[in-house]
Structure 1
Amino acid sequence: MVGIMLGIIYLAFVSMGLPDGLLGAGWPTMYQALEVPVSYAGIITVLICSSTVASGFFSDLLIRRFGTGRVVAFCTLLTAVALLGFAHATAFWQLCVLAVPYGLGGGSIDAALNNYVATKFKSRHMNFIHFFWGLGAAIGPYVMSGLLTGGQTWQGGYRLVGLVQTGMTIAFFATLPWWKKNPLPRQEKDKEKTQSRVTKKQALGLPGVKAVLIAFICYCAVENTAGLWAASYMTLQKGVTAEAAAQWTSYFYIGITAGRFVCAFVSDRLGDRHMVRIGQGLLLSGGVLMLLPGSGLMCFLGLMLIGLGCAPIFPALLHETPENFGVENSQTIMGLQMAVAYTGASLMPPLFGVIAERVSIAWYPVYMLLFMALMVIMSERMNRQVKRGR
């Protein structure tokens, strides 16, 4: 039964990743069909991200009230309905309305499943679920591209992914009784611990929580800024052709996804804290390489190191949440972590866009290095504060 549950969770993360690349891949066709400016993609993105942040922030209240299984099943249904709504949309305002339930569903699913895996399974499974998310995110654009090439409309991509999400909804509702029958949390093999109703204010007062939240913002700032602006930096600053820059940027995402697959086989042996430090070392090395003057090849190697460095950090920081702050507090803190992670991912890449426009895109590696350094400082501060608090 446990193996089947893990398989369903793995598939759930694939289905969560699938829609993430659809908007970007389909927008060149979508904005023309909808007769709106190309910049309107940002409006949909902001609506999705803000809804996701709000959902993640309040997810602990829902999960305590209804349980992980019910929240995951209902929120998966919510995202499926939203995606199928996208498939039938004929006006831009309809996409804006549907973006809200899509974001609300996604935020709670993310917080619920990450905490479920963190409290009940070993570190390798946290790496695997994020590997499968990356797999879904990589497949999504190919799905949209293949359907458009085959003469389908952009709605076909959302229809197909919506049907996949509907299948996951059925699977989650069918397995609702299993959620309570799984093994006890990994820290509580000898006695069961009841979830307390810790408030967000109380959670923020726990040693190390504020530091780890800043670390999450910094990590997401690095990952999303790296992916969004790498091609522009290599083209404008290093003289790389647009085609080569786009291809090299894809290796950044391949580095994250493949890195998480590899990390799954070593994370239990090395431990979450060491995995975070290894990732941070790779990030800093990659940032320095991108800063050095020279050819685009050096920049490419730096970008690859940043991708590999990103691989272990996010899953490891999530997985050590129950161990650092207690199983009874982990769901509240997990919701806060997901909320600030989406905030960092939403705000920091556009902020660099302003810097690139008004100052110079040459500051790209410096911008990332600043966030990398702050992340190291905050994660180490969290480690010290957690140790002193025990």
Structure 2
Amino acid sequence: MQGFRDQFGHLQCGVYGVGGTVGPLIATSLVRRGLHWSIFYIIPLAIATLCLPGSGWAFWGYERIPLSTQQQSRKNYISKPTLFGNIFIFAYQGAEVAISGWVVSFLVSYRGGDLTKVGYVTAGFWGGITFGRFLLSYVSSMIGERIFVFAITAGTLVLQLLVWFVPSVIGNSIAIGNSIAVALAGVLLGPIYPAATGILVRLIPKQMQVSSFSFIAGVGSSGGAFVPFLTGLLAQHAGTWVLHPICISLFVAMEVSWFLLSEKHKSTE
């Protein structure tokens, strides 16, 4: 049963990456055809409208959580796995969305990229995430999530430094060089979320998992909103290069919180 849950989690996260890959391709295609970029939002609005009835049907008979369980949930929020899980996922989703949203602006401003072409870099990033989640997630279960996440987070940090300081990774082609570096960063970032979830499932007691994972997911989503906003705020005054030190700081925070989070898991293995 545990193996099935792990495989389903990998599949779910991989499908999320597929959407992240297809979206930028569609948006870039619209821009190249002379359409205003805001037209793109009609597509996710239509998809969300179609999904709404299905979501209502799926949870129609879901039982309401008893009040006593809700009160107990508040205590779960201050448990060690939940607290450090919040920090880790906040930093992870913040870096993920910030890179996706701002790397194109950085390439246009500091690498002389063509807006109609570098938009595909974002698709490459999400394609890397999808590839990593479908394939590398299984590697993490073989060598252990703890060491795996340490290693790939460090690798992502190195690739972030390459994009920041090296104009081109291959030859003189900015498009090819930066696309490969950003896509590789996506490959390494991809399996982190499923691997972290695997550790958290083992650390958080079963009766606490619904409330704790809901809280962690909520805090993580706020990271995906706050960090890109902060990046944009600072970019107005200093330039879009601020994306890189922000993401590097988040990767360091991920390493520290992961050490504190998975330390207990290591002692119980």
TM-score > 0.5, shorter chain as reference: yes
Name which of 196, 200, 205 aligns with 1:321: 200
| Letter aligned with residue 164 of structure 2 | L
Specify the alignment match of 2:121 in structure 1: 248
Cα distance, 1:159 vs. partner?
4.7
* 1:331 paired to 2:210: yes
* 1:355 paired to 2:234: yes
Cα distance, 1:226 vs. partner?
0.1
Superposed CA deviations along residues 36-71 of structure 1, whole A, max 9, x for unmatched, are xxxxxxxxxxxxxxxxxxxxxxxxxxxxxxxxxxxx
* 1:130 paired to 2:3: no
Cα distance, 1:279 vs. partner?
2.9
- Relative distance call for 1:168 and 1:199 in structure 2 (3 A) is closer
Specify the alignment match of 1:166 in structure 2: 53
- Relative distance call for 1:319 and 1:373 in structure 2 (3 A) is same
Structure 1, gaps ≥5 residues long: 3-118, 178-194
Instruction: Give the conservation status (yes or no) of the 8 Å contact 2:199–2:262.
Output: no
Tell me which structure has the larger Cα radius of gyration. 1
Specify the alignment match of 1:220 in structure 2: 93
Instruction: Give the conservation status (yes or no) of the 8 Å contact 2:82–2:216.
Output: no
Superposed CA deviations along residues 82-114 of structure 1, whole A, max 9, x for unmatched, are xxxxxxxxxxxxxxxxxxxxxxxxxxxxxxxxx
| Aligned counterparts of 1:128 and 1:365: Cα–Cα separation in 2 | 30
Superposed CA deviations along residues 281-304 of structure 1, whole A, max 9, x for unmatched, are 331121121122333354333312
| Aligned counterparts of 1:303 and 1:311: Cα–Cα separation in 2 | 12
Cα distance, 1:201 vs. partner?
4.3
Specify the alignment match of 2:161 in structure 1: 288
RMSD of Structure 2 on Structure 1 (CA)? 3.5
Instruction: Give the conservation status (yes or no) of the 8 Å contact 1:143–1:157.
Output: no
Q: How many residues align?
A: 251
Structure 2, gaps ≥5 residues long: 34-39, 63-67, 169-173
Instruction: Give the conservation status (yes or no) of the 8 Å contact 2:73–2:208.
Output: no
- Relative distance call for 1:163 and 1:299 in structure 2 (3 A) is closer
Q: TM-score of the superposition, structure 1-length normalised?
A: 0.55
1:266 match: secondary structure: helix
Superposed CA deviations along residues 219-268 of structure 1, whole A, max 9, x for unmatched, are 01110000000100011011122122111221001111122111344343
Cα distance, 1:197 vs. partner?
6.3
Cα distance, 1:358 vs. partner?
0.8
Cα distance, 1:340 vs. partner?
0.5
| Aligned counterparts of 2:97 and 2:90: Cα–Cα separation in 1 | 11
| Aligned counterparts of 1:224 and 1:155: Cα–Cα separation in 2 | 20
| Letter aligned with residue 10 of structure 2 | N
1:319 match: secondary structure: helix
* 1:304 paired to 2:177: no
Instruction: Give the conservation status (yes or no) of the 8 Å contact 1:281–1:309.
Output: no
| Letter aligned with residue 316 of structure 1 | A
